[in-house]
Amino acid sequence: MLDAKEPKPPYILEYHPYSEYALLIQWPQIVSENILEDLSAFKKVLQNNCPDAILTAAYASILAVFPERITSFPFLKAQIKKDYELFSEEKIKEHLDPKDQSKKIKNTIKKAKNTIKTIPAQKILYKIPVCYEASFAPDLEAVCTQLKLSPEALISKHSKATYTVYGVGFLPGFMYLGGLDSKLEIPRKSSPRMKVPSGSVGLAAKQTGIYPCESPGGWQLIGQTPIPLFNPLQDPPFFAQVGDKIQFTPISKDAYKLLQIQVAAGIYKIEKTIYTKP
């Protein structure tokens, strides 16, 4: 993704055949919360209109996979393009003074309401406990040296931010989190580790993330959470969705061990609330 100037909505979308059964819908390829919000809201419209489709959203794209072979990509593109235009018109109405609405816009909105159903997007804020002590943070000292920050300053900046889930991938339950303080931006390690422990919290470029299971990886590790992020035996196996919010809560080593006991006993519940934009 490029750090380009962000366009204003409604956005110009691109549509690309992805397989005989799938269509890739792309917003402007910019990391932007405004684009992510637009995309997430329209995903609900698409899901409502195409209940059998599997829709996967991340950053500035939606991959739509249909149960049957797509017989006409031009027809499908035209239909989704029309839905997005109507969706955008309805969003415009929300920000217009009724006195300023032209007859044309009113007629378009009336048509939109009869064609698509919008579902208000509700975001969840999850609070993840993290121990930043040295035994859980093998790269913390080196990262602090490179960024010219004290460990206390780094932990404070990392834990005070509210992050947005831009994508889930690489590993089941691996969240790519945007909203990192610019003073914490740091490249990946030049030589990745062969084993990164489950729950490790890392930094890479403009993002932070949590490894949901043991894996090779090259992110700079600054902490670890004792809570499991992904459980294939649960429904759903992963708690967060693209667009949700994450905050990190610093904990001590003793608190980490206590939470491990609660997790093993099956009594730990992740802290969550409805997210309210400041």
pLDDT tens digit sequence for 173-216: 999 999 999 999 999 999 999 999 999 999 999 999 999 999 99
| 197 within domain boundaries | yes
| 1 within domain boundaries | no
16 pLDDT tier (thresholds 50, 70, 90): very high
Q: What is the CATH number of the domain that holds 243?
A: 2.40.100.10
Q: Indicate whether 137 and 84 sit together in one domain.
A: no
Nearest to 87 by CA among 109, 57, 102, 103: 109
User: What is the domain extent for residue 208?
Assistant: 124-274
Q: What is the pLDDT of residue 115?
A: 43
Q: Indicate whether 136 and 47 sit together in one domain.
A: no
The structure tokens listed for 160 are 């005070």
Q: Indicate whether 129 and 70 sit together in one domain.
A: no
Q: Indicate whether 84 and 136 sit together in one domain.
A: no
| 185 within domain boundaries | yes
Q: Indicate whether 153 and 251 sit together in one domain.
A: yes
95 pLDDT tier (thresholds 50, 70, 90): low
| 247 within domain boundaries | yes
Q: Indicate whether 162 and 252 sit together in one domain.
A: yes
Tally of structural domains, the chain: 2
Which of 65, 97, 115 is the endpoint of a domain?
A: 115
Residue 130 has pLDDT above 60, yes or no: yes
| 6 within domain boundaries | no
| 75 within domain boundaries | yes
Q: Indicate whether 255 and 227 sit together in one domain.
A: yes
Q: Indicate whether 111 and 142 sit together in one domain.
A: no
Which of 71, 92, 115 is the endpoint of a domain?
A: 115
| 9 within domain boundaries | no
pTM of the predicted model as reported, rounded to 2 decimal places: 0.86
Burial class (CB in 10 A: 0-12, 13-18, 19+), 133: middle
Q: Indicate whether 131 and 258 sit together in one domain.
A: yes
109 pLDDT tier (thresholds 50, 70, 90): very low
Q: Bridge partners of 220?
A: 203
pLDDT tens digit sequence for 48-61: 999 999 999 999 99
CA–CA separation, 61 vs 171, rounded Å?
Answer: 19
Q: Indicate whether 243 and 148 sit together in one domain.
A: yes
- Taking each helix axis from N to C end, the angle separating 73-94 and 33-49, rounded to the nearest 10 degrees, works out to 120
Q: What is the CATH number of the domain that holds 86?
A: 3.30.1360.40
| 178 within domain boundaries | yes
Q: What percent of the chain has pLDDT over 70?
A: 88
Which of 88, 115, 142 is the endpoint of a domain?
A: 115
The residue written with tokens 């593109």 in the block is: 77
Q: Indicate whether 94 and 167 sit together in one domain.
A: no
* Backbone φ, ψ for residue 231 (5° rounding): -135, 105
Q: Indicate whether 53 and 129 sit together in one domain.
A: no
The structure tokens listed for 20 are 């005989």
